[in-house]
């Protein structure tokens, strides 16, 4: 899969082409350059922060963290760069009822949405081959990738939230 060309349909309907998966900050920077995107200092700051943070952050959190680090970057610049980077498949954008969260892209993964902390945790889940075949037979669609969203509360909090 390393040299395989991957085509993905984005939410906006455009086809995205990647020559290899993005597994590091360096891969993200290379993809920006390969796509002809300008690597402004603001864009670099955002990418560096997302790869260092290893968590999903709102645009406001990204803005606040960058400014705490002394990186003078405006709200509008943060929002515009996040939109451009997510539209090109360089970063991940997760839609939530309370807004969008952004994170670095890693290999195919699923999410655990922790309801009491509002965190999104990346998990790697491999479904049994029999289940994938059953889904393919039911739908007539060849499964090539999947992502599952789990929702719940921290183990210690789960009992009190169920009452």
Q: What is the 3-state secondary structure (H, E, C) of 89-129?
A: CCEEEEEECCEEEEEECCCCCEEEEECCCCCEEEECCCCCH
- The Cα 128–Cα 125 span in angstroms is 10
pLDDT confidence of residue 162: 53
- The Cα 103–Cα 29 span in angstroms is 15
- The Cα 30–Cα 9 span in angstroms is 21
pLDDT confidence of residue 15: 45
pLDDT, one tens digit per residue, over 86-129 is 998 888 888 877 788 898 876 667 778 888 888 888 777 788 89
CATH fold of 110-162, please?
Answer: Dna Ligase; domain 1 (3.30.1490)
Answer with the residue of higher pLDDT: 140 or 3.
Answer: 140
- In the chain, CATH 1.10.10.10 covers 6-104
- In the chain, CATH 3.30.1490 covers 110-162
pLDDT confidence of residue 23: 77
- The Cα 3–Cα 105 span in angstroms is 18
Place of tokens 């290379």: 30
At residue 56, the 3 state secondary structure works out as coil
pLDDT, one tens digit per residue, over 15-62 is 444 456 777 888 889 989 998 999 999 999 999 999 998 888 999 999
pLDDT confidence of residue 93: 87
Binding residues for Zn(2+): 114
Binding residues for Fe cation: 129
Binding residues: 114, 129
CATH fold of 6-104, please?
Answer: Arc Repressor Mutant, subunit A (1.10.10)
Residue 153 confidence (pLDDT) above 70: yes
Residue 47 near residue 30, CB atoms below 8 Å: no
Residue 110 near residue 149, CB atoms below 8 Å: yes
């Amino acid at each position: 899969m390393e040299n395989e060309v991957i085509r993905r349909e984005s939410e906006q309907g455009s086809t995205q082409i990647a020559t290899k998966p993005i597994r590091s900050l360096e891969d993200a920077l290379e993809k920006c350059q390969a796509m002809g995107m300008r690597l402004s200092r603001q864009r670099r700051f955002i990418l560096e922060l997302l790869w260092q943070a290893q968590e999903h952050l709102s645009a406001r959190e990204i803005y606040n963290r960058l400014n705490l680090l002394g990186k003078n970057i405006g709200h509008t610049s943060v929002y515009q760069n996040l939109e451009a980077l997510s539209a090109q498949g360089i970063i991940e954008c997760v839609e939530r009822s309370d807004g969008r969260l952004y994170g670095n892209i890693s290999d195919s993964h699923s999410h655990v949405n922790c309801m009491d902390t509002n965190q999104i945790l990346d998990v790697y889940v491999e479904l049994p081959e029999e289940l994938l075949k059953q889904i393919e037979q039911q739908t007539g669609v060849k499964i090539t990738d999947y992502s599952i969203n789990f929702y719940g509360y921290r183990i210690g909090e789960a009992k009190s939230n169920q009452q």
